[in-house]
């Protein structure tokens, strides 16, 4: 039982670090998207569509930073409060 819990913890650590790195890369692209004033699109019939990506970028920024905060805090809690063998054995 104890060995299974330790393997599970390593898998959780790996995916948590992967998710943090993925969110940091996403954060880079979101900050880059904030620098755009307008995105233009051209339809086949010759019409032009333009849109400002700022509102979407702010929503993505809030979501990405909250993901980073939640994942970092939960990873720190799981690292600092490691269960011992006595905690896992039934009494």
pLDDT in tens, the chain (91 residues): 566 666 787 888 888 889 999 999 999 999 998 888 888 888 888 888 888 888 889 999 999 999 999 998 888 887 787 766 666 666 6
CA nearest 36: which of 55, 54, 15?
Answer: 54
Angle between the 54-80 and 2-34 helix axes, to the nearest 10 degrees?
Answer: 160
pTM of the model: 0.69
Q: What are phi and psi of 41, to 5 degrees?
A: -130, 145
The pLDDT of residue 44: 87
CA nearest 75: which of 32, 34, 14?
Answer: 14
């Amino acid at each position: 039982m104890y060995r299974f819990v330790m393997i599970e913890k390593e898998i959780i650590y790996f995916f948590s670090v992967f998710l943090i790195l993925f969110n940091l890369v996403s954060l880079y692209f979101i900050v880059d998207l904030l620098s755009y004033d307008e995105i233009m699109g051209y339809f086949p019939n010759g019409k032009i569509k333009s849109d400002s990506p700022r509102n979407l970028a702010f929503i993505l920024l809030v979501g990405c930073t909250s993901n980073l905060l939640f994942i970092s805090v939960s990873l720190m809690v799981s690292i600092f409060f490691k269960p011992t063998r006595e905690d896992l054995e039934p009494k």
